[in-house]
Copies of this chain bind each other. A is one copy, B any other.
Amino acid sequence: MQLYSYFRSSASFRVRIALQLKGLPYDYVPVHLLKDGGQQLKPEYRALNADALVPTLVDGDHALTQSLAIVEYLDELHPQPLLLPGDALERAYVRALALEIACDIHPLNNLRVLKYLKHTLGVSEEAKDGWYRHWIEQGFAALEIALARSGRVGRFCLGDTPTLADVCLAPQVFNAQRFNVDLAPFPTVARIHEACMALPAFQNAAPKAQPDAE
Contacts and interface: CB of A to CB of B under 8 A. Distances in A.
Nearest to A48: B149
Name A's interface SS: helix
A205 B52 CA distance: 32
B53 A76 contact: no
Contacts of A98: 69
A82 interface: no
A96 interface: yes
Count of this chain's copies in the oligomeric assembly: 2
Contacts of A20: none
Interface of A: 46, 50-53, 62, 64-66, 68-70, 72-73, 76-77, 88-89, 91-92, 95-96, 98-100, 102-104, 106-108, 113, 116-117, 120-121, 123, 127, 130-131, 134, 142-143, 145-146, 149
27 contacts: A46-B145, A50-B146, A53-B104, A62-B89, A65-B96, A65-B100, A66-B95, A66-B96, A68-B99, A69-B91, A69-B99, A70-B92, A72-B92, A72-B95, A73-B89, A73-B92, A73-B95, A76-B91, A77-B88, A99-B102, A103-B103, A103-B106, A104-B107, A120-B127, A121-B121, A121-B123, A121-B131
